[in-house]
């Protein structure tokens, strides 16, 4: 069975400091992994995706994530938080063509000035 665990339900940082959102996955197959962001009452936007190419993936808005198979992790990072980064972040796994995505429970990122 496939699953995704986001280790923190809420992360608070100050503007200009680094962001770390943690995600571990479990999959019987070689997974594709995604991070999506959702702003209040809005749809989902793809930040970045890992699809068995480079293990360090760069996404939009300065975010990046590193796929570590030995640790079954796909943590999302950003060197310097911005106020506009405050949102809900979902780590997502996909395991087959035409299959639905499996979402983590989400991490709420708060950014203070």
Which of the stretches 13-21, 29-37, 61-69, 70-78 binds other proteins when contact is defined by CB under 8 A?
A: 29-37
Chosen residue from 28, 56, 97, 113 binding other proteins by CB under 8 A: 97
Provide the terminal-to-terminal Cα distance of the chain, rounded to the nearest Å: 41
CA 92 to the chain's CA centroid: 7
Chosen residue from 2, 24, 32, 77 binding other proteins by CB under 8 A: 32
The set of residues, in sequence order, having a beta carbon less than 8 Å from that of 107 and lying 6+ positions away, is 6, 8, 9, 10, 11, 21, 22, 88, 89, 90, 91
Chosen residue from 49, 66, 77, 86 binding other proteins by CB under 8 A: 49
Chosen residue from 1, 56, 70, 99 binding other proteins by CB under 8 A: 99
Q: Rule CB under 8 A: which residues touch other proteins? A: 32, 34, 36, 41-44, 46, 49, 51-52, 90, 94-106, 108
């Amino acid at each position: 069975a496939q699953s995704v665990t986001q280790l923190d339900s809420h992360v608070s940082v100050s503007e200009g400091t680094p962001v770390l959102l943690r995600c571990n996955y479990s999959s019987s197959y070689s997974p594709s992994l995604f991070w999506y962001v959702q702003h209040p009452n809005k749809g989902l936007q793809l930040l970045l995706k890992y699809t068995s190419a480079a293990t360090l993936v760069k996404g939009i808005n300065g975010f990046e994530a590193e796929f570590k198979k030995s640790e079954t992790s796909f943590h999302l990072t950003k060197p310097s938080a911005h106020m506009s980064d405050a949102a809900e972040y979902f780590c997502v796994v996909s395991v087959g063509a035409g299959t639905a995505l499996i979402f983590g429970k989400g991490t709420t990122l708060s950014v203070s000035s």
